Every structure is written in structure tokens, then in C-alpha cells.
């Protein structure tokens, strides 16, 4: 079977590209669409830095053959900010010093986005479970957990004042 044209809704925009058989969603985002926030870490689903949202749910993009999600809505870190304005999770990561080398950050933020979409007031245990598939080799987990709880607080506050 030759390469085929795949169409995805990426961060709210319809994107079409040519994919070789078995190409991963991750490779297509990075190499065909130039969206390099999601990283290739382990390429076996163990590290979480390639995590993107597929139809609203976090998935390891390195484990997704792109043909299998044709037509789906994909959300990556590039789609989180509004124009130049960082969202609550991104700004909380900065304010809480939750990035060190930054390699895990794209995946951490995307699982946090999915968690807060589903549960605006997660417990610390909920946050720890949500990021349990994401490895930070700087082992800066504590500030990451604090940042996600802070982002949840800011988002709830904004919802009240809006």
C-alpha cells in the first residue's frame, strides 16, 4: 500500500499531509506539520513526552499509527495558548518553577489539560495519577504537581469572576 493522504483536525485547523504506512502520529506532527512540541523520548509509550490529546483524551502519539486516527481532533501544546497569552497551566508551570530541562513539559501540560477539562478541582492524588505515565528525569515532580494544582485553582477563580 503506497503512502496516503491523511487529514486531521490539529488545534482546530484541518491539516492534510502524506503519510508513509505505519508512520506515527508523533512523526507526522513533527515532520509533516512542523509541530515539534511533542517530543520523541522512548518511542515505546513509557515516557509520556509525546502525549497529545486525541479527541480530548491523552494518548502517547508515538504509539498511534496515524492512519488509525484519520479525521480525529488532535490537540498539541501549540494549541494551548491563545495568541500570545499562555493559559493557566502554562503560566502556573512558569510561576511554580515546574520546568527544568523542559523535555517532559509538553506531555506534562497536555495530561494536565485533559485532567482539568474533566475535573476542575482535582486532589493531589488525582494529579499524581494523571501524570503517572509521564517521566521527568530531572525528577522535578513536586513543582509539577504544585503547578497543576495551582493552574486548577486559577482556572476555577477565572470561571467565577468571568
Partner 1 sequence: MVIQAVHVPESVDAVVTCSARGGLLMGGGTVVMPLVNSGSAAVTELVSLRRAGMDGIEVSDGVATIGAAATLAAVGEHPGLAFLRPALRTIASPTIRNQATVGGNLFVPQPYGDLAVCLLALEATCELAGPAGRREAPVADVLTTGIAPGEVVVAVRFALPEPGTWHYHKAMRRRLNSAAIVTVASVTSAGDYRIALGGLAPRPVRAVSAERLLRGRPLTPESLTEAGEAARADIDPFDDAYASAWYRARVLPVHLRRAFLPESP
Asked if 76 and 35 touch (Cβ cutoff 8 Å), the reply is yes
Q: What is the dihedral of CA 44, 29, 120, 118, to 10 degrees?
A: -70
Select from 12, 13, 34, 68 the one that contacts partner 1 (CB under 8 A): 68
Backbone torsions φ then ψ of 53, nearest 5 degrees: -95, 125
The span from the CA of 18 to the CA of 6, in Å, is 6
Residue 58 touching partner 1 (CB under 8 A)? yes
> Contact 60/40 with Cβ under 8 angstroms?
no
Residue number, 124 or 157, with CB nearest to partner 1: 124
Residue 129 found at the interface with partner 1 (CB under 8 A): yes
| Residue 62 near partner 1 by CB under 8 A | yes
Using the contact rule CB under 8 A, the part of the chain among 53-61, 76-84, 141-149, 154-162 near partner 1 is 53-61
Query: What is the distance between the alpha carbons of residues 32 and 21, in angstroms, rounded to a whole number?
Result: 14
In the list 81, 132, 138, 157, the residue contacting partner 1 (rule: CB under 8 A) is: 132
Q: Which stretch binds partner 1 (CB under 8 A): 78-86, 91-99, 128-136, 149-157?
A: 128-136
- Residue 102 binding partner 1, by CB under 8 A: no
- Of 8, 89, 98, 130, which lies in the binding site for partner 1, with binding defined by CB under 8 A? 130
What does the DSSP 8-state code read for residue 145? H
Query: Least distance to partner 1 from the beta carbon of 79, Å?
Result: 18
- The alpha carbon of 95 is separated from its chain's Cα centroid by a whole number of angstroms, namely 19
How many Cβ atoms from other residues are within 10 Å of residue 62's Cβ? 23
Give the interface with partner 1 as residue ranges (CB under 8 A): 1, 21-22, 24, 43-45, 48, 51, 54, 57-60, 62-65, 67-70, 111, 128-130, 132-134
Amino acid at each position: 500500500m503506497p503512502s496516503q493522504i491523511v487529514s486531521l483536525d490539529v488545534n482546530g485547523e484541518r491539516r492534510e499531509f502524506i503519510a508513509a504506512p505505519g508512520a506515527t502520529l508523533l512523526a507526522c506532527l513533527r515532520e509533516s506539520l512542523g509541530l515539534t512540541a511533542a517530543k520523541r523520548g522512548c518511542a515505546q509509550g513509557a515516557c509520556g513526552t509525546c502525549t497529545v490529546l486525541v479527541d480530548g483524551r491523552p494518548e502517547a502519539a508515538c504509539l498511534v499509527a496515524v492512519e488509525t486516527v484519520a479525521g480525529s481532533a488532535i490537540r498539541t501544546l501549540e494549541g494551548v495558548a491563545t495568541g500570545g497569552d499562555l493559559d493557566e497551566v502554562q503560566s502556573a508551570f512558569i510561576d511554580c518553577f515546574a520546568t527544568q530541562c523542559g523535555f517532559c513539559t509538553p506531555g506534562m501540560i497536555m495530561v494536565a489539560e485533559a485532567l482539568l477539562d474533566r475535573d476542575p478541582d482535582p486532589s493531589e492524588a488525582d494529579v499524581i495519577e494523571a501524570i503517572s505515565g509521564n517521566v521527568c528525569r530531572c525528577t522535578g515532580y513536586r513543582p509539577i504537581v504544585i503547578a497543576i494544582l495551582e493552574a486548577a485553582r486559577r482556572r476555577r477563580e477565572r470561571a467565577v469572576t468571568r
